[in-house]
Structures are given as structure tokens and as C-alpha cells.
Amino acid sequence: MTGNSFERKGCLRSARHRRDVFMPEAQRSLGKKGLLALLAGLIFFVLSPIRTVTSWADETVSHDRADTIFPLGPGSGSGSLAVLPDDGREIYFQAIDSARHEIRIEICVLEDPQILDHLKAALNRGVQVRVIVDRGKYSDLPAESANLEQYLTAAGGELHLSNPMFPRSFPKIILVDSGLLIYGSACLDETTFLQYRDFAHTNTNQQILSEIHRLFENDWAYSSGVGQEPPTFNPTPPIFRQDLIVSPVNGAERLVSLFQQAQRTLDVYTELLGNLTLESELASTAKRGVRVRLIAPREVNGGTPEVQELQLSSLEALATAGVQVHVSGPNESAELPYMHARAALIDGRIAYLGSISLSPDSITFNREMGLVIQEDLLVRKLEAQFESDYDLRTSEF
């Protein structure tokens, strides 16, 4: 079973319903001056970057350096988009090699020797490296545990396994110093760079980075080293930005809201299916006359018979509901990659990119992360790639 295979065995658990908790409205009326002061305070809070518990006083140069290495497109924080396997490892090599102080990684699988060799080089030049990997994958993949020991921990890096309260912990986050985030759908194993369609995107928006830094530090505190007893719980820090999606706390609400915005077109990549909440939105969107297209693998690599049955039944149900379904497989190669990406495009003007799939657990139980994107160049590049994959690398279901 590869690092990119099925999220977890037995994912047919029904989703739990969650409700957002809103702060109660003020019970007493405010005078004019008090109201203005309150508004000013709120504006300052929203616009001010939110710092993590880690001091960044000695990292002020990192943001400028990241902007030089990864030129920004229009829109705050918009950076480079890597399309895998075509673009290879360069986006990761450049990011790791640019680190001066610290690299933090929270990901499903970190097994690729080439990526790990660059992390080892960073450790050798004095960069602190901390990594959280998915506990289940670590246990299932001997190559990952061996490579992490050889390249990471033996060189002085720190390794934690995710809290087992998450069936899977798949955020796919790389933080370099205080100025650069890489996120997306790619696990860092060798298979990804051979024959998997994935996306990796860089971001330098300081407010987004502040929230992701806080998420990592939180999950680091609630995870544990190899062989150590993990904490019982793993809470999630407050998520302030509306464009940041973090499962299991707000994935359902924000993806449903995003899909419901579609007026003309909705294009979706997902590896896994079976989440009736999100699939219902695709069917409903098609029913109201929006062109809805889906790209997914016909068969899930490494999936159990139950998972394969769920994948097939979801594909059939969505096609019957009017969704235009294309699938990858059975043959896989760099030219005809396995569709592992998780992304969505709405009316060619807004996109979602991240680790969250349409599986039963991805929005309800797993630790996952993604961003809603409105930068025009990035949306257009994702749209062009979807068209190419839909027409040339997949077939009608």
C-alpha cells in the first residue's frame, strides 16, 4: 500500500453533525463613542497578523526572501502553483533550501528520499526541523519509518505522530520560517512524483501563515513522539479567516457554501467519494442547471473492497444525477496520472485547493486543511489544468 492510497480502512462511518458556535450579541446598548471604539478595535484585530507562541523576532527577513524565490501573482499571498507529477520536486527543494531558522511539516506521508535529503541538509546547516506525520500511515509504511529515522531523526530532526483521535491526519502543510507556506493535495512519497496528479501551492500572506503556524503548534502540543503515549484530546485553535478551511471543524459548512455559489459551472477534483453531504450539493447544483463536472479515479489505490464499492456507487449516483463524471485508470503513468488531487473551481472566478476530499471522514473526523482562492491567475491555471485532464487524461464514466 503506497502513501497515497486509501485514507483509512472502514471509512463507512456516518458523519457527525456539527454546529458552529457564535458569540452572543451584546446585551447592552453602546453609546456613539463606545460603538466607534468597538468598531476600531475589531478592525485592528482583523487586520493585525496573529502571532503564534513561537517568537519570530529573528525571522523578519524570511518573508522578503520567500517573495523573491516564489514571485507573487495578483492578490495578497498568491504564489507559485506546482502541477504534479509534471513539475517535480523543485517547489519543495527551493522552499527547504531557503530556510534559515525553522521548517515545520504536518503531512500524511513523508517518505521520499530526495525531499528528506534536502531536509537533512537543512538540519546540517542549523535549521530546526519538526515533523508531524499521520500515525496510521507511519505504522503501515516501513519505508517511511526507516527513511525518517535515516534522514530526519538521526540528523537531529524532531518527529511526532498525529493524535489518534483523527482517523487520518492529512493537512499537507510545510511552513518555512515565518514567511512561506506550501500546502495542497500531495503526500511526499516517491509515487507522488511518478504518477499522481496533485497540486502544491505557495502562499506568503502573513495572516494566513499566522493561523497555520498556530494550527501546527497546537497539533504539535497534542501529538507525541514515536513510542510515547499520545494525549487523549486534540482541540483545534480558533479559525478566524473565512478562506481557511480546517477539518474537522469547518470543512462541511465552508465547502457546502462554496458549492452553492456556483451559477454557471462547478468543476471538482477528488480522489475519494462517499460523503453524502458534499455529493448532495453536486447533485443539487446540477439539478438547478449548473454544469457540474467531476474528475476522480475509478478505483481507489489500496482501497478495501468496501471502499471500492462506495467509490463505484457514488460515481454511478452522481452520473445519474446529472454530474458529468470522468475517471482515471486503470493504467497509471506520468502521462496518465492517478487522480489524487482535491480542488474545486466555481464559475471560473473562485477556487478551492487543499487536502480535503469527498470521502466520508475528510470533513467530519480527519485533520485536513485547504484554502479558498480568488487570485485570477491561479484560478485560471487550475481551470486550464482541469480542462486538460478532463479532455485528455480521463475518460467518461
Least confident of 77-86, 244-253, 294-303, 355-364: 77-86
Average pLDDT of the residues in 294-304: 97
Query: pLDDT tens digits for 62-84?
Result: 333 333 333 333 333 568 999 99
**Rounded CA gap, 265 and 247, in Å?**
25
And the C-alpha cell for 259?
458549492
Write down the pLDDT at residue 79. 82
Percent of the chain scoring above 90 in pLDDT:
80
Cell numbers 501529538 correspond to 223
Joined together, the cell numbers standing for residue 160 give: 511526532
- What's the CATH fold of domain 62-225? Endonuclease; Chain A (3.30.870)
**What pLDDT was estimated at residue 281?**
98
The candidate with the shortest Cα–Cα distance to 212, out of 364, 360, 17, 355, is 355
Tell me the pLDDT of the chain averaged across its residues: 86
Q: What is the pLDDT of residue 286?
A: 98
The strand ranges marked E within 108-232 are 128-133, 158-161, 173-176, 180-184, 196-203, 224-225
pLDDT band of 38, cuts 50, 70, 90: very low
What integer is the mean pLDDT of 156-162? 98
Q: What is the DSSP letter of 153?
A: G
Q: What is the pLDDT of residue 74?
A: 32
Pairwise CA distance, residues 160 & 219, whole Å: 10
Q: Decide if domain 244-396 falls under CATH 3.10.129.10.
A: no
Q: What is the pLDDT of residues 241-263, one digit of tens each?
A: 999 999 999 999 999 999 999 99
C-alpha cell of residue 348? 471560473
- Structure-model confidence comparison of residues 69 and 129, the more confident one: 129
pLDDT higher at 158 or 67: 158
Mean pLDDT for 110-126 is 98
Helix axes 113-124, 90-98, angle to 10 degrees: 10
Which of 8-12, 83-87, 299-303 has the least mean pLDDT? 8-12
Is the per-residue pLDDT at 170 higher than 80? yes
**Of the given ranges (10-14, 166-170, 376-380), which has the lowest mean pLDDT?**
10-14
Question: How is the chain split into domains, by residue range?
Answer: 62-225, 244-396
Q: Residue 356: pLDDT above 80?
A: yes
- pLDDT of 44 strictly over 90: no
User: 370-397, pLDDT tens digit by residue?
Assistant: 999 999 999 999 999 999 999 999 999 9
How far apart CA 94 and CA 180 sit, in angstroms, is 11
Q: Where are the beta strands (DSSP E) in 15-101?
A: 78-84
The whole-number average pLDDT for the span 167-188 is: 98
Kindly state the percentage of the chain with pLDDT values over 70. Answer: 80
The arithmetic mean of pLDDT across residues 28-56, rounded, is 38
134: number of Cβ within 10 Å: 29
Q: What is the pLDDT of residue 31?
A: 42
For residue 214, the 8-state DSSP code is H
